[in-house]
Amino acid sequence: MSSDPIARCEERVASLAASSLARARDEGDLAVLLGGVWTIVEEELAAGRPAGSPAPACGPGCAACCTVNVGTLAIEGAVAAALLRRDVPAIELPTLAATLRAFHDGVRWLEDRERIAGRIACPFADAAGRCAIHAARPLACRSISSLDPAECRRALRELADDEPGLVRMDWLQKALNDAARVTLSEALAARGLDGRFRDVSGMTAAFLGDPGLVTAFLAGRRLPVE
How many domains does the structure of the chain reveal?
1
**Residue-level pLDDT at 211:** 85
Quick check: is 161 in a domain? Answer: yes
Low-confidence spans in the chain with pLDDT less than 50:
none
**Residue-level pLDDT at 161:** 62
Q: CA torsion angle for 47, 43, 61, 58 (degrees, to 10)?
A: 20
Quick check: is 223 in a domain? Answer: no
Q: How many CA atoms lie within 13 Å of 105's alpha carbon, on the beta-carbon side?
A: 9
Contact present, 147 and 169 (Cβ < 8 Å):
yes
- Cα–Cα–Cα angle for 65, 149, 183, nearest 5°? 45
Summary mean pLDDT of the chain: 90
**Residue-level pLDDT at 43:** 96
Quick check: is 225 in a domain? Answer: no
Cα–Cα distance for residue pair 155/158, rounded to 1 Å: 5
Write the pLDDT tens digit of every residue in 97-146: 999 999 999 999 998 888 888 889 999 998 888 899 999 999 999 998 87
DSSP characters over 158-226: HHHTTS-------HHHHHHHHHHHHHHHHHHHHTT-----EEHHHHHHHHHH-TTHHHHHHTTPPPS--
Domain that holds residue 158: 5-218
Burial of 17-45, coded b for 16+ CB within 10 Å and e otherwise, reads: beebbeebeebebbbebbebbbebbeebb
**Residue-level pLDDT at 159:** 63
Quick check: is 226 in a domain? Answer: no
Residue type, 126: D
pTM for the whole structure: 0.91
Quick check: is 158 in a domain? Answer: yes
